[in-house]
Structure 1
Amino acid sequence: MRLGVNIDHIATLREARKTVEPDPVKGALIAIQAGADQITLHLREDRRHIQDEDLLRLKCELKDSTIPINLEMAPTQEMKQIALETLPNTCTLVPEKRQEITTEGGLDVVSLKDYLKDYIKELKQAGIHVSLFIDPDLDQIDAALEVGCDAIEIHTGEYANACGKSVEKELERIKKAAKYAKEKGLKVYAGHGLNYDNVKEIAKIKEIEELNIGHSIIANAVFLGLYEAVRRMKEIIKKSREEF
């Protein structure tokens, strides 16, 4: 199972003071040294953390690397143009609201089908792998198939925030969605709100081949250092994967 390390919150800390440190690109390189299989970053419309220059610098640093870049972005015309100019390995289309603290829920592909078909087609024609960040909902998966994406990333936020019996309920939703999407020929990824504890059950889902994790890794890096925070997450995922 691949681990994509999201470097957004390194940039969040930098932007709190509008200075040059900590540098998210330096963080990406440390994460790779620690075992990250992919670097994920979300270029938001309001540029609250990651900046355009971060993406350009990361592309330059990894130009001779086999480590892919996963650009999370809202499906806007501005972001599509940036993606077509910078050519990340993957574009993950996500919903975006100006006032939200973090991404709230998955993209409503059902209501955006007509728009997304042409949008995704342009990205794929440029050689970009396209993933859709969606809730574990079968109707959304069917819509994802219709618009021609390569993969889905299952939003694990409800599972991560669940308590008591709701945890198992949300886990079953994710398992069902992952199995359904895989059977339909989609690649299946997952992410949002995952930490050292709750990632274990998600890592056991055989249909999921990639996890994208940011906040928990960066939070733990405050105490452990970034290298160890990434290494520890990678090790937990590996051990959990071996159990199924």
Structure 2
Amino acid sequence: MTKLSVNINKIATLRNARGGNVPDLLKAAADIERFGAQGITIHPRPDERHIRYQDARDLKAVVKTELNIEGNPAQKFIDLVLEVKPHQVTLVPDADDAITSNAGWDTKANRSFLSEIISEFKRNGIRTSIFVDPIIEYVEGAAETGTDRIELYTESYATEYAGGNEDGILSYVAAAHKAHELGLGINAGHDLSLDNLSFFKNSIPNLLEVSIGHALIAESLYLGLENAVQMYLQRLK
């Protein structure tokens, strides 16, 4: 079964809107695991507008499944990851002021940079993943960095699927085949939802993990958090 890692950034956004500790991020993470999710994802940004760096430290003691920290590998981020030592780090090339991630890595142009960072994380026992678009050249470049996995950036799939174009999955299938051929594990995330997840999961071979936050948290406003997590797990069976 493909694992579900729930991104809890939006819970932190809601907490930060009023100050204080409502909703309680740590309790939410523990509850999400209790509801059946197999991982927790966070994406701290330099301005800490949702996940705070201290949240990462606090979550390490709470998360019993797998903690995935994603972000742009600036020095502050690298230092945090090496301090916390999550189960997985996902490298994302987003700008400091990005509202959300909007592109994968050009792994060819950034091979030396990524290789050095990945080597340091792996020396510290941290599984590594690189956020990439479904482009064969970039999957090949990812393999050359020594990363353990890639995370397929699925926004274009979600957009095409919502417009009725199921062929939008084809580049992802090809990228997944190439990744598996090169010995890379395959994760995926961004704009995956209850509407489009089943088709994606059933189409992508060797899919190990999906990271889902915005849609799941939004849907839980109507469905309830436990029910939403269970519905996502059902779609991953």
TM-score normalised to structure 2 length: 0.95
Tell me the SS of whatever aligns to 2:105: coil
Deviations 1:130-161 (A, max 9, x none): 00011001111111111110000100011112
**Paired AA for residue 147 in structure 1:** T
Question: In the TM superposition, what is the alpha-carbon distance from 1:45 to its structure 2 partner?
Answer: 1.7
**Paired AA for residue 69 in structure 2:** L
Task: Show structure 2 runs of 5+ residues with no match.
Answer: none
Distance between the aligned counterparts of 1:183 and 1:135, measured in 2?
17
Structure 1 vs Structure 2: percent identity of aligned residues?
38
Instruction: Select which of 72, 83, 86 maps to 2:84.
Output: 86
**Paired AA for residue 13 in structure 1:** L
Equivalent residue for 1:186? Answer: 184
Equivalent residue for 1:8? Answer: 9
Equivalent residue for 1:241? Answer: none
Equivalent residue for 1:75? Answer: 73
Residue 234 (1) aligns with residue 211 (2): no
Question: In the TM superposition, what is the alpha-carbon distance from 1:219 to its structure 2 partner?
Answer: 0.5
Distance between the aligned counterparts of 1:5 and 1:215, measured in 2?
9
Question: In the TM superposition, what is the alpha-carbon distance from 1:211 to its structure 2 partner?
Answer: 0.8
Tell me the SS of whatever aligns to 1:221: helix
Residue 106 (1) aligns with residue 104 (2): yes
Does the 8 Å contact 1:75/1:93 carry over to 2? yes
Deviations 1:91-145 (A, max 9, x none): 0000112332211021222221111111110000000000001100111111111
Q: CA RMSD in A?
A: 1.3
Tell me the SS of whatever aligns to 1:206: coil
**1:45-84 alignment, distance < 5 Å:** 45-62=46-63, 65=64, 67-84=65-82
**1:113-152 alignment, distance < 5 Å:** 113-152=111-150
Question: In the TM superposition, what is the alpha-carbon distance from 1:57 to its structure 2 partner?
Answer: 1.3
Equivalent residue for 2:196? Answer: 198
Equivalent residue for 2:25? Answer: 24
Distance between the aligned counterparts of 1:47 and 1:85, measured in 2?
17
Tell me the SS of whatever aligns to 2:236: helix
Distance between the aligned counterparts of 1:26 and 1:186, measured in 2?
33
Distance between the aligned counterparts of 1:106 and 1:169, measured in 2?
20
Tell me the SS of whatever aligns to 1:152: strand
Aligned length: 234
Deviations 1:154-209 (A, max 9, x none): 000111122546x3232001111011101110001111101101001111122212
Equivalent residue for 1:221? Answer: 220
TM-score normalised to structure 1 length: 0.92
Residue 175 (1) aligns with residue 176 (2): no
**Superposition misfits of 4+ residues, deviation over 6 angstroms:** none
